Structure 1
Amino acid sequence: MATSGKKHLNSVTLLFKLPYYTQWGQSLLIAGSEPALGSWNVKQGVSLSPVHQDSELIWCGSVSVVAGFTSEYKYYVVDDKKNVLRWEAGEKRKLVLPEGVKEGDVIEIRDWWQDASEALFFRSAFKNVIFNATEGVKKESQSVSLNKSLDPEDIVVQFVISCPRLVSGSTVIVTGSNPQLGRWQTQDGLKLSYVGDSLWKASCALRKSEFPIKYKYCQISQAGNSTLELGPNREVNVDLSSPKQSRYIVLSDGALRDAPWRGAGVAVPMFSIRSDEDLGVGEFLDLKLLVDWAVNSGFHLVQLLPINDTSVHGMWWDSYPYSSLSVFALHPLYLRVQALSDAIPVDVKEEIQQAKKQLDKKDVDYEAALSTKLSIARKIFNLEKEKVLNSSSFKQFLSENEEWLKPYAAFCFLRDFFETSDHSQWGRFSQFSKDKLDKLICEGTLHHDIIRFHYYVQYHLYIQLSEAATYARKKNVILKGDLPIGVDRNSVDTWVYPTLFRMNTATGAPPDYFDKNGQNWGFPTYNWEEMSKDNYGWWRARLTQMAKYFTAYRIDHILGFFRIWELPDHAATGLVGKFRPSIPLSQEELLSEGLWDFNRMSQPYIRQEILEEKFGSFWTVIAANFLNEYQKQCYEFKEDCNTEKKIIVKIKTSAEKSLWVEKEDNIRRGLFDLLQNIVLIRDPEDSTKFYPRFNLEDTSSFRDLDEHR
Structure 2
Amino acid sequence: MTEAFKFMINEHHSHLSGLSIPVFSLRTKDSSGIGQFSDLKCLADFAHRTKMRVIQLLPINDTTTFMDWRDSYPYRAISVFALHPIYFNLHEFLNDLTTQERGALKKEEQRLNALKQIDYERVLALKWKYITLIYHAKKETIQAQSDYQEFIKKNENWLNAYACFCVLRDQNQSADFMQWSEHQIYSDLVYKTLLKNPMQKEQIELHFFVQYVLHVQLTDAVAYCHQLGIAIKGDIAIGIAHDSADAWTNPSLFHLDRQTGAPPDLFAINGQNWGFPTYNWTKMAENGYQWWKQRMVAMSQYFDAYRLDHILGFFRIWEIPKGSVRGLLGQFSKALALDAKEIEQRYGIPFRQWGIERFTQPFIKDWVLDQIFGRDYRDTIIQNYLTYVGHGNYVLKPEYETQKKVEAAHLDEWLTDGLFQLIENVIFLVDHENGHLYHPRINLQSTISYQEFGADYKAQLDRLYVDYFYGRNYDFWKNQAYEKLPIIKNSTAMLACGEDLGMVPENVPDVMYHLEILRLIIERMPNDDHFVNPLQYVPYLSVLTTSSHDTSNLRAWWEENRENTQRYYNDVMGWYGQAPNVATGEIIREIITRHLNTDAMLVILPLQDWLGMDEHLRASNPQEEQINVPTHPFHYWRYRLHIELEDLLQEEEYCDFLAELIGQSNRDQSLILD
TM-score bucket (shorter structure): 0.5 to 0.7
1:408 paired residue among 159, 162, 166: 162
Q: 1:484 aligns with which of 221, 234, 237?
A: 237
TM-superposed deviation, 1:322: 0.8
Q: Specify the alignment match of 2:297 in structure 1.
A: 544
Report the Cα offset of residue 381 of structure 1.
1.2
Is 2:5 the counterpart of 1:125?
A: yes
Residues 107-126 of structure 1: matches in 2 within 5 Å?
Answer: 125-126=5-6
For residue 610 of structure 1, the aligned residue among 365, 368, 380 is 368
Aligned-partner Cα distance in 2 for 1:612–1:314: 43
Structure 2 partner of 1:638: 397
1:289 & 1:384 partners in 2: Cα distance? 27
Q: Contact 2:320–2:331 (CA<8 Å) still a contact in 1?
A: yes
Kept after mapping to 2: 8 A contact 1:340/1:460: no
**Aligned match for 1:554, one of 295, 307, 313:** 307
Superimposed CA distance per residue, residues 500-555 of structure 1 (whole angstroms, 9 cap, x where no aligned partner): 11111111111123322111111111111111111111111111110111111011
Residue 443 of structure 2 is aligned with which of 695, 700, 703? 695
> What is the CA distance between 1:345 and its match in structure 2?
2.5
Q: How many residues are paired up?
A: 448
Letter in 2 for 1:508: G
TM-score normalised by structure 2 residue count: 0.64
Q: What secondary structure is seen at the aligned counterpart in 1 of 2:234?
A: strand
Query: Does the Cα contact within 8 Å between 2:94 and 2:102 map onto a contact in 1?
Result: no
Tell me how large the CA RMSD over aligned residues is: 1.9
C-alpha distance in 2, partners of 1:704/1:259?
A: 59
Cα separation, partners in 2 of 1:389 and 1:341, compared to 1, 3 Å: farther
Q: Partners in 2 of 1:584 and 1:345 — Cα distance? A: 65
Within a 5 Å distance, the mapping from 1:274-673 to structure 2 comes to 274-340=27-93, 342-361=95-114, 362-440=116-194, 442-592=195-345, 593=348, 594-596=350-352, 597-616=355-374, 617-650=376-409, 652=410, 664-673=412-421
Which amino acid is 1:695 matched to?
N
TM-score by length of 1: 0.61
Match of 2:589 in 1: none
How many Å separate the matches in 2 of 1:684 and 1:542?
Answer: 28
CA shift in 2, pair 1:457/1:260, >3 Å? closer
Structure 1 unaligned blocks of 5 or more: 1-122, 128-163, 166-254, 658-663
Partner SS state of residue 276, structure 2: coil
2-side partners of 1:648 and 1:559: how far apart?
Answer: 29
Query: Following TM superposition, where does structure 1 have runs of at least 4 consecutive aligned residues deviating by more than 4 angstroms?
Result: 258-261, 706-709
Check whether the contact 1:308–1:327 (CA below 8 A) recurs between aligned residues.
Answer: yes
The match for 2:425 is 677
Q: CA deviation digits over 1:9-37, x for unaligned, max 9?
A: xxxxxxxxxxxxxxxxxxxxxxxxxxxxx
2:562 — aligned with what? none
Whole-angstrom distance in 2 between the partners of 1:487 and 1:684: 20
- Counterparts of 1:677 and 1:432 in 2: how far apart (Å)? 41
1:24-63 alignment, distance < 5 Å:
none
Give the conservation status (yes or no) of the 8 Å contact 2:271–2:328.
yes
State the secondary structure of the residue aligned to 2:16. Answer: coil
Q: Which runs of 5+ in 2 are unaligned?
A: 458-674
Alignment partners' CA distance in 2, 1:578 and 1:325: 25
Deviation for aligned residue 1:706: 5.2
What is the letter of the counterpart of residue 430 of structure 1? Q
Match of 1:534, SS state, is coil
Deviations 1:189-224 (A, max 9, x none): xxxxxxxxxxxxxxxxxxxxxxxxxxxxxxxxxxxx
SS at match of 1:521: strand
Change (3 A) 1:632 1:553: same
Secondary structure in 1 aligned to 2:199?
A: coil
Summarize deviations over 1:105-132 as a string: whole Å, max 9, x none. xxxxxxxxxxxxxxxxxx95335xxxxx
How far the C-alpha of 1:415 sits from its partner, in A, is 0.7
| Separation (CA, whole Å) in 2 of partners of 1:642 and 1:355 | 48
SS in 1 for 2:307: strand
Tell me the alpha carbon deviations over residues 641-679 of structure 1, each in whole angstroms, 9 at most, x when there is no partner.
Answer: 1111111112x2xxxx6xxxxxx1111111111111111
SS in 2 for 1:284: coil
Q: Aligned with 2:336: secondary structure?
A: coil
Q: Tell me which amino acid in the other structure corresponds to 1:297.
A: T
Structure number with greater CO (CA < 8 Å, separation at least 6) is 2
**1:224-260 CA distance string (max 9 Å, x none):** xxxxxxxxxxxxxxxxxxxxxxxxxxxxxxx9xx965
Give SS of 1:274's match.
coil
User: Letter of the aligned partner of 1:696 in structure 2?
Assistant: L
C-alpha distance in structure 1 between counterparts of 2:14 and 2:206, whole Å: 47
Inter-partner Cα distance in structure 2 for 1:395 and 1:630: 67
Paired amino acid for 1:270: V
CA distance in 2, matches of 1:590, 1:601: 11
Structure 2 SS opposite 1:446: helix
Alpha-carbon separation, structure 2, partners of 1:409 and 1:484: 21
Structure with the larger strand share = 1
Q: What is the CA distance between 1:632 and its match in structure 2? A: 4.7
CA distance in 1 between partners of 2:46 and 2:456 (Å): 68
Q: Provide closer, same or farther for how the CA distance between residues 552 and 629 of structure 1 changes in structure 2, counting only shifts above 3 A.
A: same
Shift, 1:343, TM fit: 3.4
1:558-603: CA deviation from partner (whole Å, max 9, x where unpaired):
1111111111111100101111111111122123234322111111
Give 2:290's aligned amino acid.
G
CA 1:610 to 1:343, structure 2 compared with 1: closer, same or farther past 3 Å?
closer
Supply the distance in 2 between the matched residues of 1:473 and 1:547 (Cα, whole angstroms).
14
Moved more, 478-487 or 613-622: 613-622
Q: Rg bigger for which structure?
A: 1
Deviates more, 1:490-499 or 1:352-361: 352-361
Q: How many Å separate the matches in 2 of 1:351 and 1:535?
A: 51
Letter of the structure 1 residue corresponding to residue 193 of structure 2: K
- Shifted more, 306-315 versus 584-593: the winner is 584-593
Name the structure 2 match of 1:73: none
SS of the aligned residue for 1:356 comes to helix
